[in-house]
Structure 1
């Protein structure tokens, strides 16, 4: 079901969807929320699964308005605003900018490829932006920050804070600045029968031109980004060893240790349990796990009966997985193989939903889908 926001974009010449309003599908926001809570360090609880129930039941195409304010205490409002703001911003970036590969930031310097000296460099003190992201064809390197607020005057102040945060890092290769897009996204929530009454989505997005990069090095940041994206996705789903093996690949300085680390990662991948989707021709083996409102299921095997029971109890079980062949390509580090794998056409059905980065979200239970191990 689509909902709309009053929309503002700076500069207008770069707006991917010009107009006074912008539409997002609630299910897309919830899917972005699943990926976000899994990839963000901390407890992967199911806040994504309650979003639709919090909105006013006014139907498709109406404004994105909450039934009631997001809590009474200030700290609750701040926490939920920040969380839901990330969900909305990620869904917006995925839909309108085609971004699909996301890595979260948390350290002063993050290696994307230590051997080629591709890294994220801190420029100023303060919180880092939320994401570094790119498209599935390994282009459009993007630094993005999301904010949510309840400011009666609108989202301008939140957008300014987000823009400041988006400017606190560079991506460099061998000391040279890589060209990036810097995007700040601010959501001002609207509440039915209360103030503020309108929902806003404001975006700022100029391109920051960098230095010339050696053609042999230009893919390094993107491959490292994909490795971190996959590692962060699968670790809370019970694949900590494989996640660590992927991260280790970004930290190797010399060829021989890199070859050894890649061999180790391939061996771990070969031994990883694989989810097979019933009645789905286009979905091959997936590395992942089951996520419910209460978080991932990692300490037990959920049988067919279990999956149906979880759905019947309205725990919203979904299988979240990443294509095994894509993970193998990420380990090998061959950019053209990765591009080819991600460019392959897939046919989403009524239930299984792809994310253009080798990932799938598949609702489980009777009359939906069942995941079997292999």
Structure 2
């Protein structure tokens, strides 16, 4: 179901939409929330699965308005506002900027390829932006920060805070800054009662020009992003060892040890259980796991009968997975194979929803079941 938010963009001439509003599918926001919660350290609770029930039941194409404020205590409002702000912003970036690969930033500087001296460099104190992201064809390097707020006057102050955060890092290759698009996004929530009545989404988006880099370094930068994106997604789904191996590939500086790490990552991928979707010829082998409203199920294989039981209990079981061949291309650092595999892996399916980067979200139960394969 589509919902709309009042939209402003700086600079206006670069706006990805025409007109005063932007529309987003609630299911796309929920899918973005699933990936965001899985990839971010912290709670695994399925907050994404509650979003639709929190909105006013006014139908498709109507404004994105919550029934009531997001909690009563200030701490609860701030926490939920920030969480939902990231969900909406990620769905906005995925749809209107074609971004699909997201590496998360914490409090420390991260390596994308330590051997080639490709890293994220902190420029000032304070919280780092939410994401470094790119498109599935390994282009459009982007630094993005999302904020949610309840400010009566609108999202301007939250957008300023987000913009300050988006400027706190550079991506560097051999200490030379590379070009990035910096995007700050602020969502001001609308409430049917006891709050502002209009929902706003505002964005600021200038390109920050840097130095040209060699093609091999550029490929390594994007492969590093993809490895972190995959690792962060599969780790809470029961694939911690494989995720750790992918992460080690980004910060191993020594050639011989890197070869050992590559061998280890390939062996772990070969040993990982591969899942397939019943009656879905368009989908190949996937690495992932089942997630419910209560979080990921990692302790045991979820048999088809269990998937049906979870669906009957309204726990909204879904399978979250990534194309196995894409993971192998990321391990082997083959950018052209990544681009080719992303195109092949994005074929549509009646039930499965693709993130255009080899990832799938598949509701399971009576109509669709995940099965193991050898």
TM bracket, shorter-chain basis: over 0.9
Q: Distance in 2 between matches of 1:25 and 1:162?
A: 24
Q: CA 1:110 to 1:345, structure 2 compared with 1: closer, same or farther past 3 Å?
A: closer
2:49 match: secondary structure: helix
CA displacement at 1:345 relative to structure 2: 6.0
Q: CA 1:18 to 1:290, structure 2 compared with 1: closer, same or farther past 3 Å?
A: same
Work out whether 1:166 is the aligned partner of 2:166. Answer: yes
Give unmatched runs, 5+ long, in structure 1: none
2:146 match: secondary structure: strand
1:219 match: secondary structure: helix
2:171 match: secondary structure: strand
Superposition misfits of 4+ residues, deviation over 6 angstroms: none
Match of 2:254 in 1: 254
CA displacement at 1:110 relative to structure 2: 0.5
Q: Show the 5 A alignment for 1:27-176.
A: 27-176=27-176
Deviation per CA, 1:240-283, whole angstroms, max 9, x where unpaired? 00000000100111222111111110000000011111011111
Q: Is the 8 A contact 2:283 2:345 kept in 1?
A: no
* Worse-superposed segment, 337-346 or 296-305: 337-346
Match of 2:303 in 1: 303
1:201 match: secondary structure: strand
Deviation per CA, 1:33-88, whole angstroms, max 9, x where unpaired? 00000000012110000000000000000000000110110000000000000000
Q: Show the 5 A alignment for 1:1-374.
A: 1-344=1-344, 346-367=346-367, 369-374=368-373
1:233 match: secondary structure: helix
CA displacement at 1:221 relative to structure 2: 1.2
Q: Distance in 2 between matches of 1:284 and 1:19?
A: 40
Deviation per CA, 1:316-366, whole angstroms, max 9, x where unpaired? 000000000000000000111111111226332331001011000000001
TM-score scaled by length of structure 2: 0.98
Q: Distance in 2 between matches of 1:212 and 1:320?
A: 37
1:342 match: secondary structure: helix
CA displacement at 1:303 relative to structure 2: 1.1
Q: Distance in 1 between matches of 2:352 and 2:316?
A: 14
Q: Distance in 1 between matches of 2:216 and 2:104?
A: 26
1:217 match: secondary structure: helix
CA displacement at 1:211 relative to structure 2: 0.7
Instruction: Let me know the Cα RMSD of the aligned residues.
Output: 0.9
1:112 match: secondary structure: strand
Give unmatched runs, 5+ long, in structure 2: none
CA displacement at 1:14 relative to structure 2: 1.4
CA displacement at 1:91 relative to structure 2: 0.2
Q: Is the 8 A contact 1:12 1:18 kept in 2?
A: no
TM-score scaled by length of structure 1: 0.98
Number of aligned positions between the proteins: 373
